[in-house]
Chain A
Amino acid sequence: MLKNLLNTGIKSPAQHLLLAANNFNAQQIRTTFILKRKYPMLLNKKNLPPRPLRARDYVYDLIEDTNVKKHPDVEVILTSYVSGIGKKGDIVKVSPSYAYNKLLLPGLAAYVTPQTVEKYVNLDDSVKEETYSSPFALRTMNMIQNKVFSIVMNQTHPWVIEPWHIRVSLRKAGFNILHDSSIELPKEKITGPDLTIQNKGFSVVVTINNTEKVEVKCKIHHWTRDPDIKLPYVFEHYKLPVEPIPGVGKPESLTNTIDK
């Protein structure tokens, strides 16, 4: 009976749907290959039918496979600050996949159209948003905050901590500070050599591009070449907790912001 039913030749509407289901999400197939004949073809004789093609006339060099061609970068307009990319209203060029997955889908950017440009480029100054002085300022802040920098000071020669000591120590650790003026020390003087403050810490404030203020944690390490008084090496010292130096507070700008 079933056999009879199938042989009637009448298809139910569901069958059409099932057949079509394969193509619902179909992508464009890029099958264009740019080729070039490897061997030149023979010229045709006048007033005669064209020559038949020889086997070698089907041999080609591949010039370009459009399926694996790199797509050009796309322009998008940022709808908010994106670390490492730019601030709100910036029109940036990024790779298509990055633009789609990391910017357009999360809603951090929009395609560049007259409407979006009008919406995001000509910003009202009245609407204040969290922005940073440069696309990379936030990254620098995050990285510099999460570290404790060793300030290597002499074990025998007297010293007082100055901003340039901090700058040099951070330079050795791979963080460049171009001006001493962007470093703010605590009010209290830190002097040495003093083994009671060995491995103890204090905070300084670093100002990025004269705008962002970051607290940077530092700790004192005493160094000497004299093997008799040299301090023993502490394994993975950077993983140990750091006690603050007694009697040394935080820099002024930091305490002010906390009060606010």
Chain B
Amino acid sequence: MFDFITNYASINLLPAIFASLFASIHFHNKTMLRKSLNLIQVYSSNQFRQNIRTLYVSATNEAARKGTREKARAKKVKVEIKKVAFVPFNRKKLKIDMTNKHIDDSWKAIPADDVYVGKYYRWRVYTAPEAIEAHKETHHPSMYNEPNAPLFAHVELNMQGEKVTRFVENFYRIAPVQHKFDHGQERTILVFTKGQENIEMAKNAGATYVGGTELVKDIQNGDLLLTDYQYAIAHPNILPDLLPIRGLMKKKYPNPKNGTLGADLDEIIRRFQNGIQYSAMKDENQKDFGLITAQIGTLDMETSHLEENLASLLKDVNTVRPKRAGKFITRVLLKSPPSKEQLKIDPFVYVDVGKPEVKKEVTLKKSKKRGRSFAKSVDEEEVVEPAVKEAAN
């Protein structure tokens, strides 16, 4: 800056400016210093505009160090432009059904007549035996003539977890059945156990392949493929020998939580062979809506047996219930193709409803920051309310 001034400033005014500058520094007078600096600025901007030449002070023109630019070039990530197939403009926006899948018809009336039009009222809630009998009617030989049609339970879940933003993971389970039926699925079960007795028992129970420690070596060698078996079950007596293949088995490694490890092999294998296999899947667009569709038997079974199977399915589903208030199982429908009827039943005969949801009341706590007088007025309102209610009564 001083270079600039000495080069271009006219000498007439400079001494006065410098005198004030030095005086200000000498007397520690801040305002004076500021004024004198301003003066220099004004002086330079107004008086010598014509004479100003651009000063080159930046280092942009200096050559970059060798390799710096190359390094920078190497650092740049090439963005590949993906070619997108042509999509017609009318299909660009996906039409997503945004309606709430948790259907609530409690606003509708309860029918009082003995003949009524269903659509004006709440869905009729059957007891499970009633609904099963109704399906048996439609599948009677005189009508559909499908007496051994499969009976499906359609279980709707509220997948919301303990927090509003958290959801229960999709789950795949097997529910035990009291009365076995032909589910039409091939289930392959691998059983690890020691002792001839246990091996015999497992074979009788319906295991696909049974073996002891020799299986561990086969798996390690690759002679036995774990992918051929859907489930792996083990007796606790062989567990220490299974440790080497723990990494290979991954999620199939037997553990008591999944019910794949236990001393009562007969019961476990029967459960896996005959049980109700089901999966609860969250809806793609509505994360708090989960759906299970599982077969609980065939219509030619006894009604009470079907009801027991349904109960055990619902109880098994309820074990996954998150620790929160409100319903987990929200609605259960019974279906049986080829009939398109969906008969609603009350699941809470078999499982707990859960604690009722408590809706948080919106309080005006924010206002307390603002001052005492406002907080008082809030209190006053609360006091006034009951009196108003009484008056209204």
Contacts and interface: CB of A to CB of B under 8 A. Distances in A.
Contact of A43 (B138, B145, B339, B373): B373
A136 B116 contact: yes
Contact of A208 (B115, B143, B341): B115
B114 interface: yes
Given A153-B142, A154-B141, A175 B115 contact: yes
B267 interface: no
A154 B145 contact: yes
Given A40-B373, A157-B145, A172-B341, A209 B115 contact: yes
Contact of B370 (A39, A156, A160, A164): A39
A178 B115 contact: yes
Q: Could you say which interface size class chain B belongs to?
A: 20 to 34
B112 interface: yes
Given A43-B373, A154-B141, A175 B120 contact: no
Interface in A38-84: 39-41, 43
A73 to B, nearest CB: 15
A134 B112 contact: yes
B350 to A, nearest CB: 24
Given A39-B370, A43-B373, A171-B134, A154 B116 contact: no
A152 B116 contact: no
Interface string B140-155: 0111111000000000
Interface residues of A, number: 42
Given A40-B374, A154-B145, A179 B338 contact: no
Interface string B330-366: 0000000011110000000000000000000000000
Interface of B: 111-120, 124, 134, 137-138, 141-146, 338-341, 370-374, 377
18 contacts: A134-B112, A136-B112, A136-B120, A139-B120, A152-B144, A153-B143, A157-B145, A168-B137, A171-B341, A172-B341, A175-B118, A176-B116, A177-B114, A178-B114, A206-B115, A223-B143, A223-B144, A225-B338
Interface of A: 36-37, 39-41, 43, 133-134, 136-137, 139-140, 143-144, 152-154, 156-160, 164-165, 168, 171-172, 174-179, 182, 206-210, 223-225
